[in-house]
Amino acid sequence: MFLLLGRTFLATSIASGAYLRRQPGNYILRLWTHYPSTRLVSYRGISTSEIENLNVSHSRFLSEASPRERWKDGHGGDEANGADINSEEEDLVPNGKGKLSPTSSHLLKLILPLHPGGESKDPSTVFLLHPSQPLSHVSRLILSSLPSSLSTTHQHATVSFQSTTPRGSHFRWSESTDVGDFIRDAARSAEFQIEIRFSNDNARRESDTDLHNTLIIPVTVPTFVSRTRFLRRRLALIDEELGKMEGLKVQCDTEAHRGAKRMAVSGLGALVVYWGTVARLTFWDYGWDVMEPITYLSGLSTVILGYLWFLYQGREVSYSSVLSRSISARRHALYSSRGLDIERWEELTEERRKLRREIDRIRGEYSPERDGKDEQKKDDNEEKDSEGSD
């Protein structure tokens, strides 16, 4: 049984396609590419197990899509959110070198020139990596993306990741290392190397090192500015949106405090009027025999009202609690009447705090002496201010 799949790129006049062939116990996907100018058709076989290992579209959908978005077939292609794959950044990649750059999401984009001999006519290969993936996963992706010319010439290939310390020491990293930990260490030297070693069966039997071919690809690590550009861009948008909401919020908070102060002054006036009324009725009109039970019942009514307040609010009656409750009620009423979405403001404030912490964490990877204490103090001050405003 054959399943034919094909597509044509009109811009480059290059035809490509695939067909699925069944073999005992497995399916083999044969990929082909036709170049009209050279009359060359290249084939490459990929097993179904490799296809499942490389199919990351659904995983990208789960990590990047909003909770309300639904999965659809074909979702998560090259145009997926967070990929940010464009030709301008690929043009900035030095010839013969790779580049690691961030994306608008938490993924990392690895651009590698896998063509041998510096043949720049072949496009570079782009990999989307998650920081928690091990280096062994990256190795399998690289091996499965090697050109067919190398795959047919050499039957065996190994991939290793090497880095150099600022003092000049060379290290080869274990494939069980996470991508995020590896990049964190490689950021200090701003570059690391990917070594692809090829060998054939004769070289493996005869141990002839001359028959070994090695492809070393230097990969530049993004700078702090490049790595945090999406975070800083998002932070600038949040600051701009919060700046528009901040003026209205400050105005509502000021009026709420002013109204609570007027209520407190009115309460003081009511107590003075009550004291004057009781004094007038006691000493001039009715006497103490009549006013004594009235004052007793009015005092007991105050205790009953205080107990009802405790049952309703869950806190004891005090001047500070009554004032805080009054300010909060007036403030939320002003927010609703003037169209201020306080929940949106709180979400943006929390997101801004997280972005600043993430930027400071990345800064610590490039400058180990900075541990983020200044940023933590700033966040603590913001939390105190927000609690005070509540």
Closest-CA residue to 128 (of 95, 103, 99): 103
CA geometry: angle at 99 spanning 43 and 209, to 5°?
60
CA distance 39 to 31: 16
- DSSP lists the bridge partners of residue 33 as 16, 42
Beta-ladder partners of 45: 30
In this predicted model, what pLDDT tens digit does every residue of 25-61 receive, in sequence order?
444 444 444 444 443 434 444 444 444 444 555 555 5
**CA-to-CA distance for 245 and 240, rounded, in angstroms?**
9
**What's residue 297's pLDDT?**
85
Structure confidence at residue 283 (pLDDT): 85
Where b means 16+ CB within 10 Å and e means fewer, 187-211 reads beeeebbbebebbeeebeeeeeeee
Q: How far is CA 93 from CA 90, 98, 216, in A?
A: 5, 7, 16
Torsion of Cα atoms, 67 then 70 then 74 then 77, to 10°? -20
Alpha carbon 185 to its chain centroid, in Å, reads 20
Place of tokens 């639904």: 70
In the prediction, which pLDDT does 131 show?
Answer: 82
Residue 318 has a pLDDT of 65
From the first residue on, what is the mean pLDDT of each consecutive set of 10 residues in the chain (390 residues)? 38 44 48 44 44 51 53 44 45 70 79 68 80 86 78 70 77 84 78 80 49 75 80 90 86 83 82 86 82 83 79 69 77 84 88 89 66 51 54
**Residue 214 DSSP SS3:** strand
What is the C-alpha to C-alpha distance for residues 174 and 160, in angstroms, rounded to an integer? 8
**Rounded to an integer, what distance in angstroms lies between the CA atom of residue 390 and that of residue 379?**
17
Three-state SS for 35? strand
Edge to edge, the sheet with strand 40-47 lists 2-9, 14-23, 26-35, 40-47
With b for 16 or more beta-carbon neighbours within 10 A and e for fewer, the 106-136 pattern comes to ebbbbbbbbbbeeeeeeebbbbbbbeebbbe
What is the pLDDT, as a whole number, of residue 353? 92
Phi-psi bin for 362: left (phi > 0), alpha (psi -120 to 50), beta?
A: alpha
**Distance (Å, rounded) from C-alpha 148 to C-alpha 161?**
22
Identify whether the C-beta of residue 131 lies closer than 8 Å to the C-beta of residue 138: no
User: What are the b/e assignments for 220-252, b being 16+ CB within 10 Å?
Assistant: bbbeeeebbebbeeebeebeeebeebeeebeeb
d(CA 261, CA 258): 5
CA separation for the pair 184, 192 (Å, rounded): 11
β-bridge mates for residue 383, sequence order:
none
